[in-house]
Amino acid sequence: MRTYAKPIAAVTGSLVLAAGLTACGGSTAASDEKTVTVYSADGLKGEAGDGWYDKVFADFEKKTGIKVKYVEGGSGEMVQRALREKSNTQADVLVTLPPFIQQAGSKGLLQKYTPQGADHVGGGDKASDGTWTSVVNNYFGFVHNKKELPTAPTTWEELLDGRFKDRLQYSTPGVAGDGTAVLIKAMHDFGGQEPAMEYLKKLQANNVGPSSSTSKLAPKVDKGELLVANGDVQMNFAQSRSMPNLGIWFPAKGTGRPTTFALPYAAGLVDKAPHAENGRKLLDFMLTEGAQREVSAIGGGFPARKDVKATDANAIELAKLMEGVEVFEPDWADIDKNLTAYVDAWKSATGS
C-alpha cells in the first residue's frame, strides 16, 4: 500500500462526437479513411462540450484532418460491444477502466501497440504485453450532497443508517467500472470476499437499485434525490463545475484510514481495427505532453505521464482532496481471473 503524498496532476471530462455506426460498420468505416472510431467508458465526456476529450479530439482533427467518431457507455458494456463485433470490427480504439481493459486483452480484442510517450507511463499503468496504456489516471471515490449532507460520511458503516434508505445508489458491478470498483474496495477494506458480501447484503436495504452508468448518479446526488453514490475523482471533479452540491469523499472501515485505488482510463488499439493507422495516431496524440498538460486545467483527473507535473488550480485542489487517503494496489490478475465469480457472489448476496 502507498499513501498519496504529492500533486500528481489532473485530467478530465470530454465530448461526445456522435457516432452513427451501422450494423455493417466495418465496410462503411473502410470507405472513410479520414475517421477513427473510439469506444470509451463514460466519464471523460464534457456535459457542455468542455471536457478533455472535446479539446483533444478537436485538436487532433485540426492537426491531422482525421475526425473522431465517439461511442460511450459503461466500462463492461464497451468491452462486450467490441466482443460482439469481433467478426466485423467497427472500433479502432478502446478506452476503458480496469479490470475491463485486462478483460479486453485476455479476450483478444486488442493488438500490440506502444504509443509515443508511453515510456513516461508507470509500469503498473500499462500492459506488460504492450496491448494497452493508461492515458488518464484516476481514483475511485464516492460523492455526497453537500447541501443536505454538509459533513460527508467517513465510514462504510455509516451508510447502513436508516437516513440513507432509498437515498443511496451505486452502479452495477460487472457492468460499470466504478460499480465493479465498489466490490474491489469492499473486499480490500473488509478483508476478503465473504465479509465484503456480508456488508453489501446489509447495505442493499438502503440501495435504490442497479445503474449501468455511474455518470448518471452524480446529477441525482446534486439534485438531492440521492444523498450518496459511487463515482471516481476525475469524473466527479469535472461534474462539480456544473453541479455545485457534489462533494467527493472516500469511505474507511471503522476507525481505519480512508482508502482508494487507481482506476485509470486505459486505451488500446483494437484488433483488426478498420483504421488502425489512424488509431495509432490518436493514441500517440493523447499521450503528447500538450494533451497531458491540459488534463488537470480542463477538468479534473490525473495525467498518465509521470514527467508531466501540473501546477494549475485544479491540480492543487485535487492534491488536497487526496491528502491522507491510503492508495492500495488491487491484484488485477486475480480480479481478471475471478471477476465473474465475484460478481456472482455479489448478485447472490444482494438478490440482484
Q: What is the residue-wise DSSP string for 43-60?
A: TS--TTS-SHHHHHHHHH
Quick: pLDDT tens for 103-144.
Answer: 999 999 999 999 999 999 999 899 999 999 999 999 999 999
Torsion of CA 236, 237, 241, 245, to 10 degrees: 60
Measured between alpha carbons, how far is 7 from 144 in angstroms, rounded to an integer?
23
Phi then psi for residue 95, to 5 deg, are -120, 120
User: What is the per-residue DSSP string for 181-214?
Assistant: HHHHHHHHHHTSHHHHHHHHHHHTTTB----S-G
Strand order in the sheet with 246-249: 168-169, 228-232, 140-145, 246-249
Per-residue pLDDT in tens (0 to 9) along the chain, 352 residues? 444 333 333 333 333 443 334 333 343 444 468 999 999 998 887 878 888 999 999 999 999 999 999 999 989 999 999 999 999 999 999 999 999 999 999 999 999 999 999 999 999 899 999 999 999 999 999 999 999 999 999 999 999 999 999 999 999 999 888 999 999 999 999 999 999 999 999 999 999 999 998 999 999 999 999 999 999 999 999 899 899 999 999 999 999 999 999 999 999 999 999 999 999 999 999 999 999 999 998 868 899 999 999 889 999 999 999 999 999 999 998 998 999 999 999 999 999 9
Specify the residue for cell string 455518470.
Answer: 215
Measured between alpha carbons, how far is 102 from 104 in angstroms, rounded to an integer?
5
Q: Residues 66, 278: contact at Cβ < 8 Å?
A: yes
Residue type for position 108: G
Q: Residues 315, 4: contact at Cβ < 8 Å?
A: no
Q: How many CB atoms within 10 Å of residue 351? A: 7
Looking at residue 230, what DSSP letter applies? E
Quick: pLDDT tens for 14-39.
Answer: 334 433 343 333 434 444 689 999 99
Identify which of 329, 302, 305, 306 has the alpha carbon closest to the alpha carbon of residue 317: 302
Measured between alpha carbons, how far is 231 from 58 in angstroms, rounded to an integer?
27
Measured between alpha carbons, how far is 159 from 255 in angstroms, rounded to an integer?
15
Phi then psi for residue 73, to 5 deg, are -175, -165
Contacting residues for 51 by C-beta, under 8 A, at least 6 apart: 12, 13, 14, 15, 44, 45, 238, 298, 299
Identify which of 291, 301, 178, 172 has the alpha carbon closest to the alpha carbon of residue 235: 301
Q: Residues 36, 17: contact at Cβ < 8 Å?
A: no
In whole angstroms, what separates CA 204 from the centre of its chain?
Answer: 23
- The grid cell for 312 is 494549475
Cα–Cα distances in angstroms (integers) from residue 131 to residues 32, 110, 123, 139, 309, in the given order = 25, 6, 13, 22, 26
Contacting residues for 237 by C-beta, under 8 A, at least 6 apart: 10, 12, 248, 299, 300, 301, 314, 317, 318, 321
Looking at residue 33, what DSSP letter applies? T
Residue type for position 287: L
Q: Residues 156, 186: contact at Cβ < 8 Å?
A: yes
Cα–Cα distances in angstroms (integers) from residue 273 to residues 96, 105, 114, 135, 238, in the given order = 17, 14, 15, 19, 31
Specify the residue for cell string 478483460.
Answer: 103
Measured between alpha carbons, how far is 30 from 234 in angstroms, rounded to an integer?
34
Measured between alpha carbons, how far is 328 from 234 in angstroms, rounded to an integer?
18
